[in-house]
Amino acid sequence: MSRIFITGSTDGLGFAAARTLIREGHEVARSRERAAAISGTSSAAFGLVIGDLASAEQTRSIAEQLNAIGRMDAVIHNAGIYLERSRGETPEGHAKTLAVNTLAPYLLTAWITRPHRLIYLTSGMHRSGGSTLDDIDWKKRPWSASQAYSESKLYIATLAAAIARRWPDVLSNAVDPGWVPTKMGGAGAPDDLEMGHLTQTWLATSADGAAKVSGGYWYHRQQLEAAAEANDVGFQEALVEKLAGLTGVRLFEAAGKG
């Protein structure tokens, strides 16, 4: 039996993953934005933490609440937002898409007691992310919801690969769940919801040799090639430096080492 923490598990893929893991006998801790957002698996979860991932302060609180529960065997960074109509602004002044999709998992990775396995949800749209890091917080460019989302998912796939390289004692992987029929994806999404969440639960818990790898980009339990930037060491290092500068939190000891 494993202990797994899942962010954003009140509906959609996160809810399906939590339900599957609980049915398999694992202990699941879950995050939700507010206490009122209770879903059907809440009573079965062994830990519930509250906080808004758009806020760095509340993200820190989520990490502290989880650390008080105890070390997790795996963390599934599932929470995300899709096409925001405007840049928005978090309490720290960041674009909301960047904050929820990239900065929050980066900060949680830094603040949560290091688990054995890390799974980050990305998207096939990461391939449109581009290789420039000049204005990742959208302070100068005209807002593009689709481009901001694509970039945030490239960054999270890159972070997963960087962690796999820097922390050889941790299994770190990125998962593209596909375009599935959730509240985010819409009822007409063509991909399989079941396969959309079973890849991350498999990577989080399976003893199969095929699941005990690191640095992979996965789609429906198959390893695919991610965008070239995600596996480019120079891009990885530049990104983690950029994220450290934006958050004031350094994930790795020093750039270019480890």
Indicate if 149 belongs to the active site: yes
119, 75 contact by CB (below 8 A): yes
CA nearest neighbour of 74 among 20, 5, 24:
5
Active-site annotation holder among 149, 155, 217, 219: 149
101, 154 contact by CB (below 8 A): no
232, 90 contact by CB (below 8 A): no
Q: Virtual CA dihedral for 3, 9, 11, 16, nearest 10 degrees?
A: -30
CA distance 53 to 10: 14
Active-site annotation holder among 153, 155, 217, 219: 153
Q: Classify strands 222-224 and 217-219 as parallel, antiparallel or unpaired.
A: antiparallel
92, 53 contact by CB (below 8 A): no
3-state SS of 89-140? CCCCCCCHHHHHHHHHHHHHHHHCCCCCEEEEECCHHHHHCCCCCCCCCCCC
Rg (CA), the chain: 17
22, 28 contact by CB (below 8 A): yes
The separation between the first and the last C-alpha atoms of the chain, rounded to the nearest angstrom, is 31
144, 135 contact by CB (below 8 A): no
Indicate if 153 belongs to the active site: yes
Joined together, the tokens standing for residue 158 give 């890159």
Q: Which residues are catalytic?
A: 149, 153
